[in-house]
Structure 1
């Protein structure tokens, strides 16, 4: 498992991984490369193939949000997601509160990784 600083992730590799998960077909490889320059991100590689990815958006001190934990479908269930979360949490150890948004079926996975489900807060979006 390597951080973006250790091995930069080409936008084309990340786009292929997102497409495998059925995520964001409208995002271009160049837009993804630009995004990666601004965030904490981790990639799991099998030789030159990106098989897992996770990123976090952080203010550097108080808050961080984990985003886009994604594993190539054929590698799901092998502990890669847990490893990505652990590595991100090491990188974010100095942050007071680390949060994430997930689909309901992923709550058990994140609870297993020490996140707590909160009914006190609501997710709101503005597009």
Structure 2
């Protein structure tokens, strides 16, 4: 993989939703269908896709109100491209476009916190969430037992 063949795309134009679905499956980011991914990315203020030639190898998105709060979501890189700096490039791209927001929030997969600390993210003491499947969230290490 040559770095020169990697490029970022910040629009939904010409995106293959089935290819994005396959990326999510490979990266272990859940089971959103291609149609669900089209909905969530379409409703996200900022998107970033990484392409190796014409092949989709990474994706990330951010929700934002434009000033106060933003949320980084679904940062995914194909296993074959993990460790190449691609995730870093996508996060940097989103953070640059989110510059000026008062707070940018994310929740990291357990064990991935050190990656986000490199960008200045800090562990919150009061963050809480409602999960559609709370037992699964607990099993995956996102929440603590009651």
TM-score, normalized by length of structure 2? 0.78
Matches within 5 A, 1:25-104: 25=31, 27-39=32-44, 40-104=46-110
Deviations 1:70-108 (A, max 9, x none): 110011111111111110011111321111001231111
- Tell me how far apart the structure 2 counterparts of residues 74 and 113 of structure 1 sit (CA, whole Å): 23
- Tell me how far apart the structure 1 counterparts of residues 9 and 40 of structure 2 sit (CA, whole Å): 17
1:18 maps to 24
2:4 maps to none
Question: Where does the alignment leave 5 or more consecutive residues of structure 2 unmatched?
Answer: 1-7, 133-146
Runs (4+) off by over 4 Å: none
Structure with the greater relative contact order (CA < 8 A, sep ≥ 6): 1 or 2? 1
The higher radius of gyration belongs to: 2
TM-score, normalized by length of structure 1? 0.88
Report how many residues are paired: 124
Match of 1:123 among 117, 123, 128: 128
Q: Which moved more, 1:58-67 or 1:32-41?
A: 32-41
The answer on whether the counterparts of 2:29 and 2:76 sit within 8 Å (CA) in structure 1 is no
Deviations 1:10-30 (A, max 9, x none): 3112101001023323x2212
2:11 maps to 4
- Tell me how far apart the structure 2 counterparts of residues 112 and 126 of structure 1 sit (CA, whole Å): 27
- Tell me how far apart the structure 2 counterparts of residues 8 and 67 of structure 1 sit (CA, whole Å): 21
